[in-house]
Structure 1
């Protein structure tokens, strides 16, 4: 790659409002706005954390991406779709690959906007986030934790391998239960599923494509899920 991504970002706890997590959106801008209204999202106090793949496939990739990049209370991870989108503006060999995964919308914007949006994605979308909360900390990553210990994620240096490991695999969701050390829970999207998947303290919430309904969840619910798993185990 000809650009350098941010491996990790730490975000302190929200002392005034509620933090919300949401899985892959793929251009469903109006559906997101409707869901935020339905849960009573307070844009003055609350924060929204998107787990990547906000673009491609859906009807309003451009509109959603511009909104994400320009809205102060929104934090978005780099997903595999954003990764290919960014790569395609720097290397033409990725353009057909991006079109093949739903990126035809890029054909309808001029190159200056194309480059501006990809540059903003690279600058504003980290590969991982540690989110401090009242009840512990959450690791956020698009596909799955790239390490068995979250401390290794926090100390990662930029590399193509780390970028791929954060955005493409799904083997942890298919394996046996496993706890990622040094973090209360790890939350991801990426894997289209009809129901939330939980493996130990790892959780995947990408439900929109299979069910037509996104999982938009307050962080407190994540801690409840982990506590229930611990008590049941």
Structure 2
């Protein structure tokens, strides 16, 4: 598995990034339609947690097979990998016990061959992405870079397999919970998810994109969360404009939508 995936600049089209989906792929469809996403030249990046809780988690495999779609591993994908870490054939009782919570029961309806296809796809997900843009390199991961750590040190520790740093990259909440504004040195910007916020937030050079989209779907009043969909190349403070019943925020510069 490539732990840190480095991706060249897109000189043909536009790049976008989306917050935690958790199976809300119909909202992603609407966001892509709203910006006239062109799969031939545009690219879409994800901060992970593609599955669980939402109604369309099984659609993840179709997105992961698309050449325009790039995702890092979230802690929810990692939970499935933990189940299958020792064997591709754990007992059904073990599988059901470990997928009984966190919205993971969609897994119960999948036959074994499909489960293994999902596991193989999750194993291919990098922990971190570094994307070149016209404004400089952008970092993407699920949760957080440890406080006080610069980007070069962080990626070197990820690549070396440092488990403490890997767990912070997948599950850490220190920056989000403290409202840290110091940012991460050595990188133009960093995009993360994992900790749901009421709205997308920029803290230093770190952009927090998890705005609880799946909770908006689960709330009949559509007041529990939104999907954040942003232009990756935007060099300004992101400007929001809601579409589709206030469940999606599109953040792009003029001319990108």
Q: Given the two structures, how large is their TM-score scaled by the length of structure 1? A: 0.87
Counterpart mapping for 1:1-12 below 5 A? 5-12=1-8
How many residues matched? Answer: 219
1:54 aligns with 2:50: yes
Structure 1 unaligned spans of 5+? 227-233
Distance 1:177 1:84 in 2: 30
1:98-150 per-position Cα deviation (integer Å, ceiling 9, x unaligned): 43111101110112221221112112x10001111001111101011146111
For residues 115 and 73 of structure 1, the distance between their equivalents in structure 2, rounded to whole angstroms, comes to 23
State the distance in 2 between where 1:199 and 1:29 align. 27
CA RMSD in angstroms, aligned pairs only: 1.9
Counterpart of 1:21? 17
1:2-39 superposed Cα distances (whole Å, 9 cap, x missing partner): xxx53211101100100000000011121111110011
Deviation at 1:198, TM superposition (A): 2.2
Show the 5 A alignment for 1:122-137: 122-123=123-124, 125-137=125-137
The residue aligned with 1:74 is 69
1:103 equivalent to 2:107? Answer no
User: What is the distance in 1 between the residues matched to 2:141 and 2:201?
Assistant: 15
Instruction: Map residues 141-220 of structure 1 onto 2, 5 A cutoff.
Output: 141-146=141-146, 148-155=149-156, 156-175=159-178, 176-207=180-211, 208=213, 209=215, 211-220=224-233
More helix by share: 1
1:84 corresponds to: 79
Equivalent residue, structure 2, for 1:224 = 236
Indicate how the Cα distance of structure 1 residues 184 and 48 shifts in structure 2: closer, same or farther if over 3 A, else same.
same
Confirm or deny: 8 A CA contact 1:22 1:217 kept in the other structure: yes
Aligned counterpart, 2:37: 41
**Within 1, Cα distance between the matches of 2:15 and 2:207?**
17
| Offset, 1:59 | 0.4
Cα–Cα, structure 1 residues 95 and 180, in superposed 2: closer, same or farther, change >3 Å? farther
